[in-house]
Structure formats: C-alpha cells, structure tokens
A = this chain, B = another copy of it.
Amino acid sequence: MRGHADAILAGIGLDRGAPGPLYRQLTAQLRGLIDSGRLPAGTRLPASRALAEGLGISRTTALQAIDQLAAEGYLDGRPGSGTFVAALTPAPAAGGSAVAGQAVAPPAEPSGAGQPFHPGVPDAAAFPARAWARHLQAAWRAPATGLLTMQHAAGQPELRAAIASHLRSFRGLDCGPANVLVTGGIRDALALVGQALLPAGAPVAVEDPGFPPLRTALQAQGRPVLPCPVDGDGLRVADLATRAAGTCALTVTPSRHYPLGATMPLPRRIALLDWAGATGAWILEDDYDSEFRYAGQPVPPLAALDRAGRVLYLGSFSKVMFPSLRLGYLVADGDTVARLATARPRHSDPPSAVPQPALAAFIDSGGFARHLRRMRRLYQARQAAFLSAFHAALSPWLVAAPAPAGMHLVAHRGPALPARMTDLQLSALAASFGLSVPPLSACYAALPAGAGARARPFGLVFGYAGVAEPVAARFLQRLAAAIAGDCAAPGSL
C-alpha cells in the first residue's frame, strides 16, 4: 500500500504559479497516471489527508480532485475500505470491444482512430478474423506466379470482378470488372484523380460542412476548394452556379451527407447530374455509409443515374471491413478507368496485392454480405443503446436524435450548456481523457462571417459503432461528469 502511495506522490508535480485552481492540476495528473496505466485498476489511493500532506496541499484540494475523478468514473469509493482506481477498461478476455485499451494513441498516429467514439471505426471484436485469416492463407499458400510478380495498376482482376458483382447486387450499379479500379482508400483515389484527370491547380468544389480530410487532401494537391452550402436535402445544387463556377470537379455524399446525415432526394440528384453535364465537371460521389441503412428507402447512387459519364463513384472497405485494410474502389466508365490505370505508375505505387485475393474470396464466398447483415443489426441495436445512455448521462448539456443510417450521430447543444462553450472546447475536454469526438465546426470550410459563439455551428460527432454498450455508457457518464465539473468551476473552460 505504502509503495502505491509513494508512486502516486512521486508521479505528481504541482505548479503553484500556474493559472487556475490547483485541484484541476491534480485531477489532470491523476487522470494521466490512470490513463497511462501507471496507476492500474484496483490501486488503492492514499486517504485525502495523506495525499494532502505528501503533496503539501490543503485537504480540500485533495478532496476536490478525488471527487471529480470519482464523478468521471476514474475512481471507485468502497465504503469502509477507501478509494480505488476503477476498472473502466474491460479485460480483453471478458469479450466485447477492447477499444478502451487504445485510449492513448501511439506516436505517429494523428488521426485518433484508436480512441473511443472516433467516427468511422467499426467494431473490431465483431470482425470475422478467423474466416479472413483462412482466406489469406488460401490465397497465398500456392500463389500463381502472376500474383507475386504482376502489379496491376487497376487492382487484382479477381477483386475488380468481386467488387463489380457486389455493387451490381447491393447498389444497382451497371458495372463490370473493367469499370472498377482498386484504390488504397479515398485519399489515394483523390490523388490519382487529381493527377490524371483534373488540370493542375484547378479548383474543386466541396460540401460545406463536409469531411475535413477530403478538403485537406485536395488543398495538399495545391487546389483551391470551393465550399458549397448544404441544407436538409444535402448539397444545395441550385447554388452551384454561383458557388462552384469554374470548378473541374465536385465531391459529394448524396446517400448520407457527412456529417449531418441528409439523404439527397431524387430530383436534386437529377439536377446535380444536369449541372455536371452542362459544365463538364466530374462528380466524385462518396457513397458514404450506404451499407448501413436502418430505415427508409435507399436512393440509387448518382452513378446509377449517370448517363453522361461524369460520375466517379468512390467507396471504401475501411468501415465495412476494418480501417487498416486500406482498400477501396473507384467505379467509372471503362475508358476513364483505363486512363487512371495507365497514369498510376507515373505517380504512385498501387496498393499491395496481399489482401486483394483474400478480399475477393471473402466477397465471392458470401462471407462479406453476411458480415454486412450482421453489422447492420449490431449497429442498429447499438445506436439505440447509445442514445439511451447518451440521454441518461448528457441530456441537460447535449442532445442527439436517432439516425436512419450509418455509424455516427451528431450531438447538438442542449438547454443547460452555457452559451459560451464551443464545440471545440468540449471536443478538447473529451480528448483530455482519451475520447475522439470531433467538433462539427471543424467540418466547415467557411464559418459564418463574424460569428460569435451563438452563430457558430455547434456539434460533436460520436462514432458509436465501434464501442460496446457498457463501455460507451461509462465513457458518456465520464464526459457528463467532466462537463458538470467544468460548468460548476469558476473560470473554467
């Protein structure tokens, strides 16, 4: 016991000259010791008096920190036996998602993909790893020479065929293998299109709000991006004439707008295709979240309606298989695919062949479609459980409504949240204990001019799909406690 207390005291260094109340420093440092594993679950904390003496602080300060951490779920009080570090992270053997085990992102992992609620992360525990490993072994134990030596700039032929077949059944796309180019993901597709099809430096229109990495990737190509507004029916096509004049391409998420979730109605889709036909611009259709629809009628993708050959249909296996797979696809007319495949070797290496025949076999065997059905049921149930836990924990401060599709929800401002609090601040508060809930305002390329805190967009994007229900509930309670603590503290946030 004494050893633990020493470790705790040795791990804390308080700076009395720093601004803000001292208990906040102590809270943050204890939280860090727990998050980093240096204070494992079950560790008994010194009594508040001992803590205060050891650190040279008042007992009130020690008690404030302990109370705050208990409210956040970091500490458990056991009557008659003291205060202990709570077992928040379920042991891997206990089943369920192990996502909390990654709360501390490793170096060179800037995306937050390992942190709970990071949008777009599927439930890794539900992935059929044994079947996947079997397909990998079967594909590579006696490979044809060509599998080892050929570098197919458009992807392995069997995977192109499997993707085409899947998209014909699931999305009604009239496509064959020659229409499919295998990509390393959405950024790889954007880079290839930018290099091979679009004039250097020509602007590209994007949805506003939209998916920030997409905007960043286009800007990294040295292109101006033209933000185009969005309403309850998705991208405002009528505004393109003014907002997207002179653009060579447009990125759009008509199935389910990211992050707000609108589905673009059919008349607007037709108008969008007409616009592309008239201007000659390419439409980069990101068929985001089309795999997981829980209610309502699916609307056909733009690519299925396109008669003028202006649509490049983009999809990814990151969310429906797993993010580190890094495989996706671009579907277009055969000439465009051939043009992109011919250009690729000048610019970039094609994706590794290693996962490609295994993914093709997984699709062809029916295992992929079964996995999609299982995940659809799982995520639908998980959304309901998430919303119930969310309301229970956070309803005075944040509100969220059910969504008919996808893997994330956007939480909006609730009545009790002080008007001065921005979504950036709340996102940073959540990040301080390891959650990745990106602020909606960061999805905007152009914030309303002269926007004060009130006019500024407010929202937090919660990816609920990858976090098992009990873990999600604990994290939501912890977030609620942190918000309550900050609302109550003078001069906080």
Most B C-beta atoms less than 10 A away, residue of A324, A346, A353: A324
Q: Is B338's CB under 8 angstroms from A353's CB?
A: no
Closest chain B CB from A52 CB (angstroms): 39
Q: When the two chains form the complex, which single residue of B114, B130, B354 contacts A354, counting CB atoms closer than 8 Å?
A: B354
Q: Does A57 have its Cβ within 8 Å of any Cβ on chain B?
A: no
Q: How many copies does the complex hold?
A: 2
Measured in the bound complex, the distance between the Cα atoms of B107 and A132 in whole Å is 29
Measured in the bound complex, the distance between the Cα atoms of B178 and A122 in whole Å is 29
Q: When the two chains form the complex, which single residue of B323, B347, B349 contacts A151, counting CB atoms closer than 8 Å?
A: B323
The contact string, 1 if C-beta is below 8 Å from chain B, for chain A 211-229, is 0010011001010000000
Q: Is B130's CB under 8 angstroms from A141's CB?
A: yes
Q: Is A352's CB under 8 angstroms from B355's CB?
A: yes
Query: Count of chain A residues with Cβ under 8 Å from any Cβ of B?
Result: 81
Q: Is A153's CB under 8 angstroms from B109's CB?
A: yes
Q: Does A144 have its Cβ within 8 Å of any Cβ on chain B?
A: yes
Q: Is A151's CB under 8 angstroms from B109's CB?
A: yes
Measured in the bound complex, the distance between the Cα atoms of B149 and A347 in whole Å is 27
Q: Is B153's CB under 8 angstroms from A110's CB?
A: yes
CB-CB contacts below 8 Å: A88-116 with B: 97-99, 101-102, 106-111, 113-114
Q: Is B145's CB under 8 angstroms from A136's CB?
A: no
Contacts A220-B347, A347-B217, A349-B185 given: A322-B149 contact, CB under 8 Å? yes
CB-CB contacts below 8 Å: A326-344 with B: 326-327, 337-338, 341-342
Q: Is B353's CB under 8 angstroms from A324's CB?
A: yes
CB-CB contacts below 8 Å: A128-174 with B: 129-130, 132-134, 136-154, 157
Chain B residues whose C-beta falls within 8 Å of the C-beta of A346 in the assembled complex: 216-217, 220
Q: Does A485 have its Cβ within 8 Å of any Cβ on chain B?
A: no
User: Which stretch (A187-195, A292-300, A411-419, A437-445) binds chain B?
Assistant: A187-195
Q: Is A324's CB under 8 angstroms from B352's CB?
A: yes
Measured in the bound complex, the distance between the Cα atoms of B140 and A130 in whole Å is 7
Measured in the bound complex, the distance between the Cα atoms of B222 and A157 in whole Å is 31
Q: Is A136's CB under 8 angstroms from B102's CB?
A: no
Closest chain B CB from A367 CB (angstroms): 14
Q: Does A121 have its Cβ within 8 Å of any Cβ on chain B?
A: yes
Measured in the bound complex, the distance between the Cα atoms of B185 and A8 in whole Å is 46
Q: When the two chains form the complex, which single residue of B97, B108, B358, B466 contacts A341, counting CB atoms closer than 8 Å?
A: B108
Q: Does A432 have its Cβ within 8 Å of any Cβ on chain B?
A: no
Q: Does A378 have its Cβ within 8 Å of any Cβ on chain B?
A: no
Q: When the two chains form the complex, which single residue of B101, B222, B345 contacts A200, counting CB atoms closer than 8 Å?
A: B222
Most B C-beta atoms less than 10 A away, residue of A110, A142, A185, A337: A110
Chain B residues whose C-beta falls within 8 Å of the C-beta of A101 in the assembled complex: 145-146
Q: Does A198 have its Cβ within 8 Å of any Cβ on chain B?
A: no
Q: Does A350 have its Cβ within 8 Å of any Cβ on chain B?
A: yes
Chain B residues whose C-beta falls within 8 Å of the C-beta of A358 in the assembled complex: 354
Q: Does A424 have its Cβ within 8 Å of any Cβ on chain B?
A: no
Q: Does A36 have its Cβ within 8 Å of any Cβ on chain B?
A: no
Chain B residues whose C-beta falls within 8 Å of the C-beta of A133 in the assembled complex: 136-141
Return the chain B residue nearest A97 by Cβ. Answer: B145
Q: Is B129's CB under 8 angstroms from A145's CB?
A: no
Closest chain B CB from A154 CB (angstroms): 4
Q: Does A127 have its Cβ within 8 Å of any Cβ on chain B?
A: yes
Closest chain B CB from A47 CB (angstroms): 37
Q: Is B149's CB under 8 angstroms from A129's CB?
A: no
Q: Is A184's CB under 8 angstroms from B145's CB?
A: no
Q: Does A428 have its Cβ within 8 Å of any Cβ on chain B?
A: no
A-B contact pairs, 14 of them (CB 8 A): A102-B145, A108-B153, A110-B345, A124-B143, A125-B145, A136-B354, A150-B323, A184-B184, A324-B354, A325-B354, A326-B349, A326-B351, A326-B352, A354-B355
In the complex, besides A110-B342, A129-B141, A130-B142, 16 extra interface pairs with C-beta distance below 8 angstroms are: A98-B145, A99-B149, A102-B149, A106-B157, A107-B178, A127-B148, A133-B138, A150-B324, A184-B352, A187-B349, A191-B347, A220-B346, A324-B353, A325-B354, A326-B351, A352-B354
